[in-house]
Amino acid sequence: MVVKKKLTIREKKWNAEFKGEMIEKGALPPDKARLNRKKFANEVLKEYKESLSSWDDITYLYQAINWMVPSENIEFKIELEQVGVLKLLKIAMDIKTFNGKMVKKGKTKYNPYDMYKEVVEPILKL
């Protein structure tokens, strides 16, 4: 078993300088700015409500999902964003099953909290 030791301050400084030189030479891309998630969420949700709010636009949502999920032949690492989209798909399928069970029981109305506890929460906790 190989035990990795922590880098010294000198080694960290040298690594940072080397990376800076490689970025200047164009061998490495510059560091990407962190995404402000709250700002991004607010902007996207506002735009979504303005442009993709009708049932006619549902095909664009399907196209976006297809771009985000891995193909059936999974060869690459599954990214965290893809896991989120896969959870969304799983929730949608389980909501459909849940609604089918409720209709079979003769219930057309149910408590949303029941759906959350039975369907959504277990998937979010995966």
| Average pLDDT per 10 consecutive residues for the chain, totaling 126 residues | 87 94 92 90 88 77 88 80 92 91 80 90 92
How many whole angstroms separate alpha carbon 98 and alpha carbon 96?
5
HSE-up of residue 117 (Cα within 13 Å, Cβ side): 5
pLDDT of residue 110: 80
CA separation for the pair 24, 45 (Å, rounded): 37
| pLDDT at site 89 | 92
CA distance 114 to 112: 5
Token pair 């560091």 in the structure block, residue: 31
Q: Cβ distance 81 to 68 under 8 Å?
A: yes
Residue 53 pLDDT: 66
Backbone phi, then psi, for 54, in 5-degree steps?
-105, 160
Q: Is 86 in contact with 69 (CB distance < 8 Å)? A: yes
Q: CA-CA distance, 70 to 77, in Å (whole number)?
A: 9
CB atoms within 10 A of CB 119: 20
d(CA 115, CA 100): 12
Nearest alpha carbon to residue 37 among 6, 70, 73, 81:
81
